[in-house]
Amino acid sequence: MSHTIVIFGASGDLTSRKLVPALYNLERAGSLPPDTRIVGFSRTPMSDEAWRAGLRESTAQHCDCGPVDDASWGRFATRIHYQPGDIGQAEDFAKLDRRLAELEAGADATRVYYLATAPQFYEPVVTALGAHGMAAETRGPRRIVVEKPFGTDLATARALNATLHGVFHESQVFRIDHYLGKESVQNILALRFANTIFEPIWNRRYIDHVQITVAEEVKVGRRGAYYDTAGVLRDMFQNHLLQLLMVTAMEAPVRFDATAVRNEKVKVLEAIRPLDLGEVAAAGVRGQYRGYLDDPGVAANSQTATFGAIRLEIDDWRWQGVPFYLRSGKAMSCRTTQIVIGLELFAAGRRTFHREPNRLVIQIQPAEGIQLHFHTKVPGEGMRLRLTDLEFSYSREFQGRLPEAYEPLLLDVMTGDASLFARADEVEKSWEIIDPFVRVWHSVDMPPVDVYEPGEWGPVASAEWMAAQGRTWFDLCPVLT
Ligand code: BG6
């Protein structure tokens, strides 16, 4: 059966920066199913040729694949079509429906509707697809991909789920979080569940705490208008950081299928101890980089956090008493995403040998790999010990480029595998956890947000907050390069 990918928001940034480059890379690798067509829909009046030409340029800029070559682009371009239209106009949807039927030559096809528009258009597109019978699966599977942000709080996420479920079955809905498409995130599952060496220590008896850091060097830049209403909690915590927490903490699924994997992930969220509003302020630190207020689109007196650190507790047999520290910020000292498993300090060792515990560092980006930190005797210096490491690096071990996160995820939607996509209950539970932090951090009773200098690891208060809990942040720029 052929495939049709319909992109709503065809002239937007996401389409040109991520989606089309990912599809082009799949084409080059020979992984895109042969009968795939890509149909763009947006208001800009454009011909097929004009859209193709624009995409060739933007793909060359963003595809991370070297020069775009004529042969592969030539093949790829024949798949690309454009249909101008307005989401608010019923007749434009009718035209789109006719165009799709024409391109599919009346045959059955798998259709993927991709919501790459601004979020306020998600519900109108879904409703219009329903009204035109375009979600019905009489002529092949119909799937919808919903980008983040999935709502701005629990209430709006529930409303969006209700709109989706009014038109699509849950099995047709693919809520994308590109962090789950990263090779190294998926490898956490392999590391944990394919290696007997880690399983016995992956619990409260051996692990003191877990740190999950997503540090970005970039500032908010041109995205001020969006970012100032979102802040780091909505932009990074509700989705990417909680996803990393779930894959780190979940139990082994009985099968690697969408139901079993997502059941286990949701159980982690269900086990996170709810905090009342009084506890929330002490369970986190927020900061704002100096200069944020001058970024375009940012309110002059904005209290929006561009840095956040929070502490969550998972009340289950495996994790009770092991804090999970989640931290993310813009304008930090470097770009790195790391999960640090801090092991218990050997009690006798505390007195005799050393003060630093073993660590397992899983680096998600920029370079992907794993380091195990352990003590070694320094030669010739009695029992003086030093922390050294064992290292696995993806690039050293496996040749060739790692696929960009959108590549495997797009293929998964085409084949109908939802394991790496968030389920309705998963996004709602995530908002339930993050909402109280948003409420407290935005409350007028909070002291002014702490300012940090760009290039630091957030405000000083963040290190002090950790120290007060007897721990230190693992503040190392990429341990693997
Ligand atoms: C996006 C956020 O979801 O993730 C951005 O909206 C952020 O603010 C980006 O920069 C980070 O993604 P990555 O893959 O570069 O770590």
Asked if pLDDT for residue 122 goes beyond 90, the answer is: yes
Q: Cα 461–234–448 angle (5° rounding)? A: 35
Asked if residue 478 is part of any domain, the answer here is: no
Whole-number average pLDDT of the chain? 95
Q: How remote is the CA of residue 184 from the centroid of ligand 1, in Å?
A: 16
Q: Which two tokens stand for residue 417?
A: 């595998």
For residue 173, is pLDDT > 90?
yes
Contact 115, 83 (CB under 8 A): no
Q: Is residue 390 part of a domain?
A: yes
Q: Which residues contact 451 (CB under 8 A, 6 or more apart)?
A: 287, 288, 289, 290, 459
Residue of 240, 354, 375, 442 marked active site:
240
| Claim to verify: residue 141 and residue 242 sit in the same structural domain | no
Ligand 1 pocket test target in 236, 241, 338, 407 with most atoms within 8 Å of CB: 236
216 CA → ligand 1 middle, Å: 8
CA of 159 to the centre of ligand 1 (A): 25
Structure tokens that stand for 256 in this block: 């690697």
User: Are 140 and 283 part of one and the same domain?
Assistant: no
Range of the domain at 310: 180-467
- Final residue belonging to a domain, choices 147, 171, 189: 147
pLDDT at residue 354 tops 70: no
pLDDT at 353 over 60: no
Domain match, 205 and 269 both:
yes
Number of domains in the chain: 2
Residue 352 has pLDDT above 60, yes or no: no
Q: Which residue, 98, 124, 147, sits at the end of a domain?
A: 147
Q: Report CA(240)–ligand 1 centroid distance (Å).
A: 8
- Domain end point (choices 126, 147, 168): 147
| One domain for residues 204 and 137 | no
Look at residue 23 and tell me if it is in a domain.
yes
Q: Which residue is closest in CA terms to ligand 1's atom 14?
A: 179
| Banded pLDDT at 340 (limits 50, 70, 90) | very high
Tell me, yes or no, whether 175 lies in a domain.
no
Residue 372 has pLDDT above 60, yes or no: yes
Burial-class residue 209 by CB neighbours within 10 Å (0-12, 13-18, 19+).
buried
Binding-site residues, ligand 1, Cβ < 6 A: 148, 178, 216, 235
Question: In this structure, are 122 and 216 located in the same domain?
Answer: no
Q: Which is the closest atom of ligand 1 to the Cα of 337?
A: 16
Give a yes or no: residue 157 inside a domain.
Answer: no
Instruction: Indicate if 85 and 185 belong to the same structural domain.
Output: no
User: Would you state the structure tokens that stand for residue 108, as one six-digit string?
Assistant: 């059955």
Same domain, yes or no: 434 and 321: yes
Annotation says 240 is catalytic: yes
Q: What is the CATH number of the domain that holds 301?
A: 3.30.360.10
**Residue 374: what are its φ and ψ, rounded to 5°?**
-145, 165
For 1-19, how does the pLDDT look when each residue is reduced to its tens digit (9 = 90+)? Answer: 999 999 999 999 999 999 9
Q: Ligand 1 centroid to 108 CA: how many Å? A: 36
Average pLDDT on 390-402 reads 89
The residue whose CB lies within 8 Å of the most ligand 1 atoms, and thus the one to mutate among 13, 216, 406, is: 216
Q: Which of 366, 310, 307 has the alpha carbon at shortest distance from 335?
A: 366
Q: Considering the domain boundaries, does residue 367 fall inside one?
A: yes
Structure pTM? 0.96
Residue 350 reports pLDDT greater than 70: no
Q: Per the domain annotation, does 299 fall within a domain?
A: yes
Query: 202 with 109, same domain?
Result: no
Q: Give the position, in ligand 1's atom list, of the atom nearest the Cα of 182.
A: 14
User: Is the same domain home to 134 and 185?
Assistant: no
Q: Is the pLDDT of residue 348 over 60?
A: no
Which atom of ligand 1 is nearest to 235's Cα? 6
Tokens 């071990």 belong to residue: 397
Residue nearest to atom 2 of ligand 1 (CA): 235
Handedness of CA 53, 55, 60, 66 (dihedral sign): negative
Looking at the structure, tell me whether residues 368 and 301 fall in a common domain: yes
State yes or no: pLDDT of 94 exceeds 90. yes
Query: Are 392 and 446 contained in the same domain?
Result: yes
Look up residue 69 and give its DSSP letter: P
Evaluate whether residue 472 is within a structural domain: no
Positive or negative torsion for Cα 177, 179, 182, 187? negative
Give yes or no: residues 270 and 404 share one domain. yes
User: Which pLDDT belongs to residue 478?
Assistant: 84
Contact yes or no for 305/441 (Cβ under 8 A): yes
CATH of the domain at 78: 3.40.50.720
